[in-house]
Every structure is written in structure tokens, then in C-alpha cells.
Chain A
Amino acid sequence: MIPHLFKLIWNKKKSHALLIVEIWASFLVLFGLATLIVINVGNYREPLGFTYENVWAIGLRNNQDTVSIADKQQRILQRLKAYPEVESVSRMSGNFPFSANQMNNGIEYNKRKAHPDFYVTDEDFAKVLDIPMTAGSWYRNVDSVGKYKPIVINKKLKEALFSDENPLGKVLSDKFRVVGVVDKFKAKGEFMSDKPAIFELVKVNETWNDTMLMRVKPGTDAVFEAKIVKDIASMVTGWSVEVDYLADSRKNQHNLVLVPVIIALVVCTFLLINVALGLFGVLNLSIAKRRGEIGLRRAMGATGSGISTQFIGEIWVLATFAMLIGLLFAIQFPLLNVFDVKAGVYVTAIIIAVLIIYAIVTLCALFPSRQAALIQPAVALHEE
């Protein structure tokens, strides 16, 4: 029966061309959306590599004040450490976790190149964010005296530059020496892909690294926030102070990822509803036009359920034609490694898109095909 259906649809391909294009377009849109979702779900399932609860980021801006900035920053740092509500404090660059800022640069080892994100931090950074080390140790302020800047890298960068080689003690770009390795560091939240990262020791006199990352004791609230803002303002007149809770910043980052996905999902849903309604209408019309054929098939030995199955089979064949054309496009993505996304992601997205298309066309065909099954053969033959 299947070759018969293929033949039937193939012989009617001109009249089905529009439907095939509709299903083909839906398949490609679904493939794109499914890829986006699979990538994000895959990222979400990977750990962040640090903890963010009870961590606050205090952004300091010296504004018009240009006198002894580094000293003032150090005084603020020491003051923050002195609060009993504070567990630990670290000074770092403006690209603190979940912020909108990003810094990256090229780096090289033995002709292998990478383009990691750079985070300039002090010795307490790992402690504040509770980052576990997988090799070596986090740098200390005293390490700054050496010829090379001490750096900690993440596993992704280690794989990119060293493969199976031990990275500890190795010099990168004739400038940095690796002292430690951490597993992951997804600074933009769970939906971020695990990208190469470097943590570089901040110099005491580098005044532009003016964010204080602070872990407070659980239960510490906005009253304390108001207190430190007031205290800092009294220490450094004319500076502005901004406090971000990492938990809130994380939500903002999630929204940045989720909103476009949700919009795409809504658009795609409307598109699919349109396609489904179109299919439904075409099938209904097709059954009305093919009552004679239905009667004939019943006379030749088809059962009511056989007729129903035939109509569902026809729409499956039609969907298969459309998706085969779509697959020619979709399969290029894993083959050409487009957007540097793993082939498995594209393959999963293709499978999801195929299953959804089959589910939609089946749903659309169910009612008309049941109607077809109910047609009395004698009546259908007589009408013809």
C-alpha cells in the first residue's frame, strides 16, 4: 500500500505543490527553533561553575574624582571586608557574573590560538564565587611579582590550547603563566555555552577594575545594602555606588535569552496553526472531491478504517516529500559545522522537527479521514 500511496501523491505532485512548500517551510522554521531550544536546554543542563546566591556586585564610579583612586578603592575593599555581614570580598573588572559587559582577547600557545573571555580578579574571587579548582590553585596577590602574570584558565580553554598536556606552569602569549584550572565558568548564566575563559590577577594600581564582588551572610537584606552605600558615599565623596544582586542579574540574563526564544516560539506556533488549518481545509476539500474514489475503494475491498488510514498515509507521504526537501537544507548545518554547533544538536533538532510535523499532519488528517471512513460506498458511488 505504501508504494501505491507514494505513486498517487507523486502523480498529483503539481496540485500538492503548495502544500509541500507549506510543510517544507514549517519544517525549516521548526528546525531553526528546535536548534535554538536544544542548544539552550543543553547549555542549561551544564553547571554554571560557581554559586551566585548571596553575592552582590558593587559598582564604583569615581566620576570627577581623580585623586588617589587606587588607594580609595583599597580602603573601600578593606572596609567591606570588615562588615560582620560580609563573608568575603573580591575586586574585579566590570564584567562580573551576569553583567552585560564582556572582555575578550586572543591568546596563543605553541601556535594554537583561542579567543577566551578575560576576567581580571584578585585572589579572593574563587572564594567569593565558590569556584572549585580542578588543577593547581588560584593565584595570590604575591604572585604578581613574577615575570609572567599568573592566570587561571577554565577546562574549555585548556582543551583548546593544551589538549591532554598539563597546562600548569605553561606560558601563554609570552605573557601569562597558568597556575590553576577550573572546570566551567558560565558568567552569562545557565543558558550561556561553556566558552574558554581566563582569570587574570588584578594589579593594585589598575583603577578601572572597580567592581567589588561580595558574598554576604544568608539573610542579609536591603537594610545592609543601604548602609554600605551610605558608608561608601561618606568615604569617597562624589563617587557613585550601584549594588546588583547576582540572583537578580541572573534573571535578567535569562530573560535576554528566553524572550527571543519565546517570541520565536509564538511566531512559530501561529505559523504551524496556519499550516494546520490549511491542511485541514485541503483535506476536507479533497475528501469531498474524492467521494467517488472512496466509494470505489470500498467496493474494491477497502474497510472504513482502511480508507481512514489511506488518507492519513497520503498526508504522511506528502509530509515526507516536503521534509526530504527540507532535510537537504537542514543536513548542511551539521555537515558544514555551521555556527560551530555540535552535529548532535542539529540532528536532535531535525528529529524533533520531523516528529512535530508528523504529529501535526496526523492531527489535521484525523478528523477528515474519519469523515471519509463514514462515507457510505453506495451513496458515494451514486453521487459520482
Chain B
Amino acid sequence: MIHLKNIEKVYRTSTIETLALNNINLDIQKGEFVSIMGPSGCGKSTLLNVMGLLDEPSKGTVELDGQPVTQYRDKELARLRNQKIGFIFQSFHLINDLSVLDNVEIPLLYRSTNGKPRQEYAKEALTKVGLGNRMKHFPKQLSGGQKQRVAIARAIVGNPDIILADEPTGNLDSGMGNEIMNILQQLNDEGATIVMVTHDEQMAKRTHRLVRLFDGTQVL
């Protein structure tokens, strides 16, 4: 499903050069639930961004469903992100000026899905994460756990093959974290491929496979 080959990512400024990822080779199969762990600054989020086509590797190739996408143009990458990948972020990234329902509709806007079906899909996704009764609410009216569930609904509304979650439980207490983890596991059981960055060993243990990074290098 996702194939990373000799991935290297270097951040350069006028005075300093930082190697964020060094020779990463990773294969993620369809239906897998993979967690990525490592200390802060080891390149976990960078790796997730490269996988999610949000960041370009300095070297190496990224293949998605067997297709090398490294040379794709902005428009093609945007289409792939929209149709194949769902993102979940630690800080939720909800738009405060839009209702919960409108937030969940966003990926479908970039697919030009019409208003009525768009709303139906968004309602369906919200019901799935247990927020069917909070559709008209605004993010500021929700708890952290509820916000993350909205973010999950937004990630799954477009039915993507891959879900990339960057510390989805990082801002939540353990109870809420477990709830979110249960939802992710349920999505994985339904066939979604999930790659999750986490600091939490307990959460990582609930996934199929663990990838450890240290100073930008894959250690396990």
C-alpha cells in the first residue's frame, strides 16, 4: 500500500543542515495498523508527512499502491491526499468558525461532492464516531475527546484507504485516549490502513506493528 524507499529528509537553513530522516525503508500493507514511536524530534511527524504527501523527501521514493508519487505535481498530490488519505492530528485542527458538520464536510468540498450527499456522508461519519447529537455545535463547545472524534469523522468521511494519525491521543487523558484508540481499532477492523505516531507504549501495543525511530533513523 505505502512503500518508502531510501527516504532522506534534510532541512536546510543558511547556517545549519538538519537530517530529519535518514535512509528510511518502510512497507505498509493494506489493512495494517502500524505505530511509529521515538523520542521528540526523532522525525516521526516528518515521516508521517512524507507518507501523507504533505512533505517532499530530499531523497528516495514514495510509492502509493505501487505508483511512485514523488514527482507528482501539486494538483495530483492534492487529489491523492483527498481521495486516499485521511489525517488525524494531535491538536485536532478543527476550524473554529465552522460547525462540527461543516468541519467534517471539508474533504468532500475538495471532491466537489454536492451539498445534499455531502451533508449525508458527514452525518454518517459523525454518527459512526458517536457525535450524531453534536452536529450543530461549534468546536469551542466540545471537549478534547469530542474534538478528536470530529477529527476522526473528518478523516474517514471520504472513505480513504489510509488513515495517518499524528499523536491522536497526545492531548487527551487516558480515558479519552482509550476511546479514540477503540475507534481507530474499529476502523482498522473495517479495513482501513492506519499509521499512527504515538509516545504511548500502551497505545502502540494495541497496533499490529511498531516502528521505532531515533535521530531520523529506523531502529526497529
CA distance A300 to B95 in the complex (A): 13
A-B contacts at CB below 8 angstroms, number: 71
- A377 x B107 contact (CB < 8 A): no
Kindly identify, within residues 131 to 180 of chain A, every residue whose CB is under 8 Å from any CB belonging to chain B: none
Q: B107 contacts which chain A residues (CB < 8 A)?
A: 300-301
Q: B64-81 interface mask toward A, CB cutoff 8 Å, 1 = contact, 0 = none?
A: 000000000011001101
B54 within 8 A of A: yes
**Given A300-B107, A378-B49, are A292 and B93 neighbors across the interface (CB < 8 Å)?**
yes
- B110 x A306 contact (CB < 8 A): yes
**Given A3-B115, A300-B107, are A378 and B54 neighbors across the interface (CB < 8 Å)?**
yes
Query: Of the candidates A11, A299, A303, A384, which one forms a contact with B87 in the assembled complex, judged by CB atoms under 8 Å apart?
Result: A299
- B110 x A300 contact (CB < 8 A): yes
- A301 x B93 contact (CB < 8 A): no
- B82 x A8 contact (CB < 8 A): no
**Given A300-B87, A376-B55, are A12 and B110 neighbors across the interface (CB < 8 Å)?**
no
- B78 x A298 contact (CB < 8 A): yes
CA distance A303 to B97 in the complex (A): 21
A293 within 8 A of B: yes
Q: A304 contacts which chain B residues (CB < 8 A)?
A: 74
Q: B145 contacts which chain A residues (CB < 8 A)?
A: none
**Given A297-B106, A300-B107, A303-B74, are A384 and B97 neighbors across the interface (CB < 8 Å)?**
no
Query: Of the candidates B79, B89, B91, B98, which one forms a contact with A8 in the assembled complex, judged by CB atoms under 8 Å apart?
Result: B98
**Given A3-B115, A4-B109, A382-B45, are A299 and B95 neighbors across the interface (CB < 8 Å)?**
no
- Number of A interface residues in the complex (CB < 8 A): 27
CA distance A305 to B49 in the complex (A): 20
State the majority secondary structure of interface residues on A: helix
Q: B75 contacts which chain A residues (CB < 8 A)?
A: 303
Q: B130-153 interface mask toward A, CB cutoff 8 Å, 1 = contact, 0 = none?
A: 000000000000000000000000
B208 within 8 A of A: no
Distance in angstroms from A235 CB to nearest chain B CB is 86
Kindly identify, within residues 289 to 332 of chain A, every residue whose CB is under 8 Å from any CB belonging to chain B: 292-293, 295-306
Q: B209 contacts which chain A residues (CB < 8 A)?
A: none
Distance in angstroms from B81 CB to nearest chain A CB is 5
CA distance A302 to B54 in the complex (A): 11
Q: Which residue of B lies closest to A300 (CB)?
A: B107
Q: B94-122 interface mask toward A, CB cutoff 8 Å, 1 = contact, 0 = none?
A: 01011000100111011100010000000
A236 within 8 A of B: no
- A300 x B54 contact (CB < 8 A): no
Q: A4 contacts which chain B residues (CB < 8 A)?
A: 102, 105, 109
CA distance A3 to B91 in the complex (A): 27
- B78 x A301 contact (CB < 8 A): yes
Q: B11-53 interface mask toward A, CB cutoff 8 Å, 1 = contact, 0 = none?
A: 0000000000000000000000000000000000110010010
- A306 x B78 contact (CB < 8 A): yes
B171 within 8 A of A: no
- B93 x A296 contact (CB < 8 A): yes
Q: Which residue of A lies closest to B154 (CB)?
A: A300
Count chain B CB atoms within 10 A of each CB in A295, A304, A378 and give the residue with the most.
Answer: A378
- B82 x A300 contact (CB < 8 A): yes
**Given A4-B102, A299-B54, A299-B87, are A12 and B74 neighbors across the interface (CB < 8 Å)?**
no
B83 within 8 A of A: yes
- B81 x A301 contact (CB < 8 A): yes
Distance in angstroms from B101 CB to nearest chain A CB is 10
A7 within 8 A of B: yes
**Given A4-B109, A384-B93, are A299 and B81 neighbors across the interface (CB < 8 Å)?**
yes
Q: A1 contacts which chain B residues (CB < 8 A)?
A: 109
CA distance A293 to B93 in the complex (A): 7
Q: A306 contacts which chain B residues (CB < 8 A)?
A: 78, 110
Q: List 23 A-B contacts (CB under 8 A).
A: A8-B95, A11-B97, A11-B98, A12-B97, A295-B54, A296-B87, A296-B89, A297-B110, A298-B54, A298-B78, A299-B81, A301-B81, A301-B107, A302-B78, A302-B110, A303-B74, A306-B78, A306-B110, A377-B54, A378-B46, A378-B54, A381-B89, A381-B93
A residues near B, CB below 8 A?
1, 3-4, 7-8, 11-12, 292-293, 295-306, 376-378, 381-382, 384
- Listed from nearest, the 4 A-B pairs whose CB atoms lie closest are A301-B82, A301-B110, A378-B55, A378-B49
